């Protein structure tokens, strides 16, 4: 089992991190960063600071993966910092791996929050033996036009600030992935919301339990074969969660990725699969067809429970998935529950 970090409390100090893209430090996005920082401070009564290279800008952050890794290690070892929130994803967190100090993470467990390319940092935390949290980032969620979604705010508070069991995670009533440019004049322009259809059960019956493991599929592909890729035994009995990014991966590419998990023997021992809503609902029906073709028709795993259209990915609002937490899916009731606390 993974170590649980301590829950956040009013007045705690949070550090923001640029572990992939350095765009938070660019002049064009600094106002949005400061908006997200202010929201974290105001809505959750937290103090927020930056790590040494958080606002160094895209070129510097890109050229110095060793400094990003040092920021991460220093943040974990700094006893005054109670949590680390990712500024944004990107595409090259992977380049930190040769410089990671796993002992600094293992010996100083604390909250790490982020998604998308932060999947790499989550797998680093997983290898180090601590629970981390797939959820909102400073630029993409906390700085949401017009205000942080109440749904997202609810799950930040319930997962990171409470040591009670998290419980049922209901789907949001509405969703969006509309893109409004992050530029002056758009700060209070809310995105268009659409009705959300709720969870779908593609196959499976009964109630299944398992610990959560997964992330952004495009980033998981980068991690395969590296030192942070979980061993086959680590996937056994897991509820594996997958989401795809704004790149809108083609159904054919999704098919190839799923086949890879199949031939690794990962799906054979899984407790179930959880898929988030695709970005813009692009390929919504096609993804379902591909998932069933690979999992049921090709692999013969027609009893493996599969949930679809969940809200933990690149669409908004989003819930939080704690890596390693025990969760439960009810195929008849179409319900998803996290049956333990995310923090201690």
Q: Which residues are catalytic?
A: 116, 243, 314
Q: Cα(201)–Cα(185) distance, rounded to whole angstroms?
A: 41
Cα–Cα dist 69/40, whole Å: 24
Cα–Cα distance list, 63 to 3, 57, 94, 96, 228 (Å): 32, 10, 13, 11, 22
Report the residue count for the chain: 344
Burial of residue 26 (number of CB atoms within 10 Å: 0-12, 13-18, 19+): middle
Q: Please give the Cα distance from 202 to 199 (Å, whole number).
A: 10
Q: How far apart are CA 118 and CA 88, in angstroms?
A: 8
The DSSP line for 171-204 is: PPSEEB-----SSTT-TT-PPPPEE----EEEE-
- In the sheet where 335-338 sits, what is the strand order? 167-168, 335-338, 326-330, 207-216, 238-243, 272-276, 306-310, 200-203
Q: How many CA atoms lie within 13 A of 144 on its CB side?
A: 25
What is the three-class DSSP state of 288? Answer: helix
Nearest to 320 by CA among 158, 176, 193: 158
The CB-based long-range contact list for 152-155 (8 Å cut-off, 24+ gap) reads 152/316, 152/317, 152/318, 152/319, 153/43, 155/318, 155/319, 155/320
């Amino acid at each position: 089992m993974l170590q649980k970090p301590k829950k956040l409390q009013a007045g705690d100090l949070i550090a923001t991190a640029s572990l992939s893209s350095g765009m938070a430090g660019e002049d064009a996005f600094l106002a949005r960063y400061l908006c997200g920082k202010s929201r974290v401070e105001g809505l959750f009564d937290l103090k927020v600071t930056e790590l040494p290279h958080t606002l160094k800008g895209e070129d510097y952050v890109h050229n110095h993966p060793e400094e990003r890794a040092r920021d991460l290690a220093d943040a974990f070892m700094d006893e005054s910092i109670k949590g680390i929130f990712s500024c944004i994803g990107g595409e090259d967190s992977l380049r930190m791996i040769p410089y990671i100090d796993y002992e600094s993470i293992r010996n100083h467990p604390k909250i790490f929050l982020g998604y998308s390319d932060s999947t790499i940092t989550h797998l680093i935390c997983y290898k180090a033996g601590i629970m981390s949290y797939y959820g909102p980032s400073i630029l993409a969620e906390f700085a949401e036009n017009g205000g942080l979604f109440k749904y997202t705010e609810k799950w930040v508070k319930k997962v990171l600030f409470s040591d009670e069991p998290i419980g049922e995670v209901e789907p949001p009533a509405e969703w969006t992935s509309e893109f409004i440019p992050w530029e002056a004049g758009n700060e209070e322009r809310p995105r268009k919301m659409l009705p959300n259809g709720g969870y779908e059960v593609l196959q499976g019956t009964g109630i299944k339990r398992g610990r959560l493991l997964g992330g952004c599929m495009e980033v998981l592909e980068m991690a395969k074969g590296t030192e942070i890729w979980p061993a086959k035994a680590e996937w056994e009995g897991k509820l594996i969660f997958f989401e795809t990014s704004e790149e809108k991966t083609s159904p054919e590419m999704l098919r190839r990725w799923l086949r890879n998990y199949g031939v690794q023997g990962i799906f054979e021992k899984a407790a179930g699969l959880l898929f988030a809503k695709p970005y813009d609902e692009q390929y919504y029906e096609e993804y379902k067809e591909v998932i069933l073709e690979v999992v049921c028709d090709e692999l013969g795993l027609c009893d493996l429970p599969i949930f679809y259209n969940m809200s933990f990915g690149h669409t908004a609002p989003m819930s939080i998935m704690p890596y390693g937490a025990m969760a439960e899916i009810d195929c008849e009731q179409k319900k998803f529950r996290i049956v333990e606390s995310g923090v201690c």
